[in-house]
Structure 1
Amino acid sequence: MPKEWAGSGVDLHLDLDVSAGRRAGLERALRSAIRSGRLAPGAALPSTRALAVQLGVARGTVSAAYDQLAAEGYLTSRPGARTRVAQIRRPAAGRPGSAALAVPPALDGPDAPRHDLRPGRPDLTAFPAAAWLRSTRRVLTTAPPDAHALADPRGRPELRAALAGYLGRARGVDAAPERIVVTSGYTQALGLLARVLADAGTTAFAMEDPGHPYHRALVRRAGLEIVPLPADDLGARTQLLTGDAYAHAGAVVLTPAHQYPAGATLHPSRRHAATAWARATGGTVVEDDYDGEFRYDRRPVGAAQGTAPEQVVYVGTASKTLGPGLRLGWAVLPERLVEPFTEAKYLADAHTQSLAQLVLADMIESHAYDRHVRAGRLRYRRRRDLLVERLRERAPHVRVHGVAAGLHALVTLPETGPDEAEVLRRARALGLAVQPLAEFWQRPGPNPQGLIVGYSTPPESAYPAAVDALCEALAPRRP
């Protein structure tokens, strides 16, 4: 019996209560597993013979249970094919009304919009699959066996060495491999850093306003207060950090290359003000360089960290160049923070998975990563140009900001309308998803109204139609 079970194919765990009979108990257990979602729509079930062996019941009992559930619509079967769970709709899980931050909606699936211009991700159809595959083959052929074991929580030495070279030449970062920690994306890096600084006595972070609400939630989760730092056309107003309102702030989070979401590049005088504040107070500047590689009208602006490596934590990510699903980010740390940050990373998840780290290291060393970034820069510049041109022609009453760099633009609305609520109603009717600026403000209104348009999100073939839908949603009010 144990030998037969070990080779019986698809495993299926069921809580079988046979008090009312084996067949009835089996039917009840299968219904429960399907209704709860443990058995997903389309999941293959074991053959009647295999499940009978697993459960120690007669094969006819399993056949009768399968037939009954197929008749009820829970299962599907046809001759010569596996029995599978039917495509049934389960009630959606409710969201607690008191939640401070809702889980963001899925960008894919049956409820995905027809046109998607929400910010936050690159065109995933442009993922460099061929280059990734070549690097994966090399890595699997040459990597030592210990590449698949838990190792240094800072990350694989191959990737940290590759990043030190790449960040130095491409972003102007003063990076040594021993001061780099590989993280599971930017969000983990920010969350770990908030806890590390809180443990060291920091009580508040200054954060850009407008700014990302999810990032504010990560900092608050560490028990820290957030002090809004206004941003304008020159970036965050870092000269305010010396004022009384920020006296208890021990860190400031900035997006110098391309402010999120307004799109400004931080003015040199304001960069200097931020690092001078950090030197004078012992504070920490967190530089979020989420899309710093994508600059269109001139060479990318170097990272602020290069001018003050002991005051600035530089945080980068592969989410905008490759894809957020890889969960690959990195923090370049001042010497004083390397040890506590590494300990926090170890206690969080021990180690970011190795294979993707090694593949990315190979792509960087072979310059496949540079080629992919350059190709993306050209592709997204064409998209930006199309967006600006069509808005100028069809919605001249709106203003477009932050288009010199990055993967999104801020479109602000005139006081004469349409307002955000009206544009969102029109967009929903057109099957268009966009993100309102209202979600990003910390300060109570009235604040400028607008949309954050992620022009990198749609596949290439779908992009022109998405821009047309946007122009229609932004059409001026008719007198």
Structure 2
Amino acid sequence: MVIDWATSGVDLLVDVDPADRGRRAGLERALRAAIRDGRLAPGTRLPASRTLAGELGVARGTVTAAYEQLVAEGYLSARRGSGTVVAELPASRIPDRGAAGDTGPVPRPRHDMRPGRPDLSAFPVEAWLRAARRVLPRMEVAAFALGDPRGHPALRADLAEYLGRTRGVLADPESIVVTNGFIQGIGLLARVLHESGRSVVAMEDPCYPFHREAVRRAGPSVVPLSVDAQGASGQVPEGAGAAVVTPAHQVVLGMVLAPERRRALVTWASSADGLIVEDDYDGEFRYDRQPVGALQQMSPEHVAYLGTASKTLAPGLRLGWMVLPRRFVEPVAEAKFYADSQTDIIGQLVLADLIRGHDYDRHVRAQRLRYRRRRDELLRRLAREVPEVRVRGAAAGLQLMLELPPGGPSETEVTDRAAARGLLIVPVGATWQAPNPDRRPSIGVGYATPPDHGYPAALDALVATLREALDA
């Protein structure tokens, strides 16, 4: 018998052997199994015995006896006035749900300093709640149905204004497609490029491997676009129909794309009918001067601009956007429709309200100040305590690249020593597509993720790791 607690307050299916129907032992076994395999989590409140007995068509005493037996075994906990709840079980009684071959749970690092990740504890909860309270009562019923796959018109209008004002993007709402973050956006665009015959895409080398993989999985092959001190090369490899670049802050090395490289890329796109895909990586976070405007404004019909709220707010919101050349809007919107129809509507409208009321601007400015102070403190500690390490990158973004000295430790040695201290940092070597024997071993370090109260300890762990590795 399958028990469906449809009206009991607990949504759960529990399988009871037909031979045990109406018997206390059968109910005990079903509840015990549900607790063991995690379907009934610790703290879950079970239905009252009278309610469950009515659902099952058994005597109330049968349910009461089953509950009492599981309380005695430690699976349930019963307190007067609080009902019956699932108890916390010792770890040895909970099955391992890890991947095959795992020998045990992976310890959570004490300090997460991976690059490109924001401080999630700084999410503007109160501003988001206020915006939601304003938005939800005013939502038309039709808004809860599936709408334009490009996104809600209100958000697209507010994004057009915001991006024009803060990033110099030339956009109208009709050219914008709202996506579930950057990865969906680059995947949709790559699929459209492949279907249009542009089967080769050039991507900066180095860049994040999962960005390359997102493009590959959509169809095109990926070729490396070299990067030097001036940013991405203006010489796009022959045969490439598109080039993905990060002009505001190179995704790994951290430089800003030089003006002559911007002009060279636009010239290539115009002459070869190519598409520049501008990932506005870290475009909101420049600390030493006003950020350079988006590349898109130089040639709106040859540049697809991609942005996201993943760093300014949180990646879990899954809110991103594309400003597209006119000829790409319809095919990308169609691809979006067949991918998932549309992005979450409530999140879209809350973000639109935050932008319209300038709460989003205020939050970004506050985060910019916090991250600048963190970066400054990190630079002071490195210069004072590990001066052998060379810092690469402009005063922007959420991370630094640290070059290790010649003859010093390897990337793996440093990251292993960091892990032993509970510190999570990453080797840069994996971000390269083409072999580069001339590059120096480097470590990517993010300064945004640790909460304020944990940042000093994270810096202590980083400095101690580098000092230990250099002195070994």
* Same topology, TM > 0.5: yes
How many residue pairs get aligned? The number is 460
More displaced 10-residue stretch of structure 1: 332-341 or 203-212: 203-212
Structure 2 residue aligned with 1:217, among 204, 213, 218? 213
> What fraction of aligned residue pairs are identical, expressed as a percent?
58
Is the alpha carbon distance of 1:375 and 1:346 closer, same or farther for their aligned partners in structure 2, counting shifts above 3 Å? same
Report matched runs for 1:111-126 at 5 Å: 111-126=107-122
- Who is 2:264 aligned against? 273
CA distance in 1, matches of 2:181, 2:394: 25
Q: Which amino acid aligns with 1:146?
A: A
CA distance in 1, matches of 2:198, 2:233: 21
Correspondence 1:32 to 2:57: no
Deviation sequence 1:333-360 (CA, Å, 0-9, x none): 0001000100111111111111121111
CA distance in 1, matches of 2:267, 2:312: 31
Report matched runs for 1:152-191 at 5 Å: 152-191=148-187
Report matched runs for 1:368-407 at 5 Å: 368-407=359-398
- Who is 1:292 aligned against? 283
Displacement of 1:287 in angstroms is 0.7
- Who is 1:91 aligned against? 96
Q: Any stretches of 5+ residues in structure 2 without a counterpart?
A: none
CA distance in 1, matches of 2:309, 2:459: 26
Displacement of 1:457 in angstroms is 0.7
Report matched runs for 1:254-403 at 5 Å: 254-403=245-394
CA distance in 2, matches of 1:111, 1:80: 37
Q: Which amino acid aligns with 2:155?
A: L
- Who is 1:450 aligned against? 442
Q: Which amino acid aligns with 1:401?
A: R
Q: Secondary structure at the match of 1:216?
A: helix
CA distance in 2, matches of 1:353, 1:336: 25
Deviation sequence 1:52-85 (CA, Å, 0-9, x none): 2222222233233334444444433344332215
Correspondence 1:434 to 2:432: no
CA distance in 1, matches of 2:459, 2:202: 35
Contact 1:9-1:50 within 8 A present in 2 as well: no
CA distance in 2, matches of 1:464, 1:86: 34
Contact 1:18-1:24 within 8 A present in 2 as well: no
- Who is 2:10 aligned against? 10
Correspondence 1:131 to 2:124: no
Is the alpha carbon distance of 1:54 and 1:290 closer, same or farther for their aligned partners in structure 2, counting shifts above 3 Å? farther
More displaced 10-residue stretch of structure 1: 415-424 or 80-89: 80-89
Contact 2:303-2:325 within 8 A present in 1 as well: yes
CA distance in 2, matches of 1:36, 1:225: 42
CA distance in 2, matches of 1:306, 1:139: 32
- Who is 1:103 aligned against? none
Displacement of 1:456 in angstroms is 0.8
Contact 2:35-2:86 within 8 A present in 1 as well: no
More displaced 10-residue stretch of structure 1: 436-445 or 339-348: 436-445
Displacement of 1:445 in angstroms is 5.4
Q: CA RMSD in A?
A: 2.2
Is the alpha carbon distance of 1:86 and 1:58 closer, same or farther for their aligned partners in structure 2, counting shifts above 3 Å? farther
Contact 2:205-2:432 within 8 A present in 1 as well: yes
Displacement of 1:255 in angstroms is 0.8
Q: Secondary structure at the match of 1:444?
A: coil
Displacement of 1:418 in angstroms is 2.1
CA distance in 1, matches of 2:58, 2:219: 55
Displacement of 1:250 in angstroms is 1.5
- Who is 1:421 aligned against? 412
Report matched runs for 1:181-260 at 5 Å: 181-239=177-235, 241=236, 246-260=237-251
CA distance in 2, matches of 1:93, 1:299: 46
Q: Which amino acid aligns with 2:260?
A: S
Contact 1:289-1:314 within 8 A present in 2 as well: yes
Displacement of 1:425 in angstroms is 2.3
- Who is 1:50 aligned against? 51
Displacement of 1:10 in angstroms is 2.5
CA distance in 2, matches of 1:96, 1:341: 40
CA distance in 2, matches of 1:383, 1:312: 33
Displacement of 1:223 in angstroms is 2.5
CA distance in 2, matches of 1:275, 1:371: 33
Q: Which amino acid aligns with 2:340?
A: D
TM-score by length of 1: 0.90
More displaced 10-residue stretch of structure 1: 74-83 or 365-374: 74-83
- Who is 1:146 aligned against? 142
CA distance in 1, matches of 2:71, 2:18: 21
Q: Which amino acid aligns with 1:451?
A: I
More displaced 10-residue stretch of structure 1: 5-14 or 466-475: 5-14
TM-score by length of 2: 0.92
Q: Which amino acid aligns with 1:170?
A: T
CA distance in 1, matches of 2:152, 2:78: 47
More displaced 10-residue stretch of structure 1: 418-427 or 5-14: 5-14
Displacement of 1:94 in angstroms is 1.3
Contact 2:256-2:394 within 8 A present in 1 as well: no
CA distance in 2, matches of 1:72, 1:201: 65
CA distance in 2, matches of 1:285, 1:117: 31
CA distance in 2, matches of 1:379, 1:437: 25
Q: Which amino acid aligns with 1:92?
A: R
- Who is 1:104 aligned against? none
